[in-house]
Structure 1
Amino acid sequence: MTPDGENSTTVDNSEAMAAKPRRGFALMIAPLIAFALMGLFGWGLFFSSRDLPSPLIDKPVPEFALAPVQGQTDGLATADLRGQVSLVNFFASWCVPCRAEHPLFMELAQSGEVKLYGINYKDLPDEAEAWLEELGNPYTRVGADLNGRVAIDWGVYGIPETFVVAADGTIAYKVIGQLTRPILENQVMPVVRRLNAENSGSMTQ
Structure 2
Amino acid sequence: MNRLKLFIPLMIFAVLAVLFWRGLSLDPTEMPSSRIGDPMPAFNLPTVRDADAQITEQTFKGEVSLVNVWATWCAACRIEHPFLVRLAEQGMPIYGINYKDDVEEAKRWLAQLHDPYRLSVVDQDGRLGVDLGVFGAPETYVVDKQGVIRHRHVGIIDQRVWDEELGPLVERLQVE
TM (norm. structure 1) is: 0.70
Q: Which of 132, 139, 159 is the equivalent residue of 2:137?
A: 159
Q: Which of 31, 37, 45 is the equivalent residue of 1:58?
A: 37
| Whole-Å separation in 1 of the counterparts to 2:131 and 2:84 | 23
Q: Which of 86, 102, 121 is the equivalent residue of 1:107?
A: 86
- Alignment of 1:146 with 2:140, yes or no, is no
Task: Find the counterpart in structure 2 of residue 118 from structure 1.
Answer: 96
Task: Find the counterpart in structure 2 of residue 88 from structure 1.
Answer: 67
Task: Find the counterpart in structure 1 of residue 8 from structure 2.
Answer: none
| Whole-Å separation in 1 of the counterparts to 2:90 and 2:67 | 16
Query: Normalized per residue, which structure has more helix?
Result: 1
Identify unmatched segments of 5+ residues in structure 1. Answer: 1-43, 199-205
Q: 1:163 aligns to what SS in structure 2?
A: strand
Identify unmatched segments of 5+ residues in structure 2. Answer: 1-22
| Whole-Å separation in 2 of the counterparts to 1:92 and 1:149 | 15
Runs of 4+ in 1 over 3 A off after TM superposition: 70-76
How big is the shift at 1:66?
A: 1.3
| Whole-Å separation in 1 of the counterparts to 2:53 and 2:155 | 26
The one-letter code of the counterpart of 1:163 is Y
How big is the shift at 1:75?
A: 5.3
Over the residues paired in the alignment, what is the CA RMSD in angstroms? 1.8
Check the 8 A contact 1:91/1:121 in 2, yes or no: yes
| Whole-Å separation in 1 of the counterparts to 2:54 and 2:137 | 19
Q: 1:99 aligns to what SS in structure 2?
A: helix
Check the 8 A contact 1:75/1:142 in 2, yes or no: no
How big is the shift at 1:158?
A: 1.3
Q: How does 1:1-205 map to 2 (within 5 A)?
A: 48-70=27-49, 76-112=55-91, 114-198=92-176
TM (norm. structure 2) is: 0.81
Change in Cα spacing, 1:75 to 1:175, as seen in structure 2 (3 Å) is: farther
Q: 1:168 aligns to what SS in structure 2?
A: coil
| Whole-Å separation in 2 of the counterparts to 1:72 and 1:106 | 23
How big is the shift at 1:181?
A: 1.4
Does 173-182 or 92-101 show the bigger shift? 173-182
The one-letter code of the counterpart of 1:79 is Q
Q: Summarize deviations over 1:32-89 as a string: whole Å, max 9, x none.
A: xxxxxxxxxxxx8xx8542121111111110112101156885542000001100000
Q: Which has the larger radius of gyration?
A: 1
The one-letter code of the counterpart of 1:82 is K
| Whole-Å separation in 1 of the counterparts to 2:99 and 2:57 | 17
Change in Cα spacing, 1:48 to 1:148, as seen in structure 2 (3 Å) is: farther
Change in Cα spacing, 1:63 to 1:96, as seen in structure 2 (3 Å) is: same
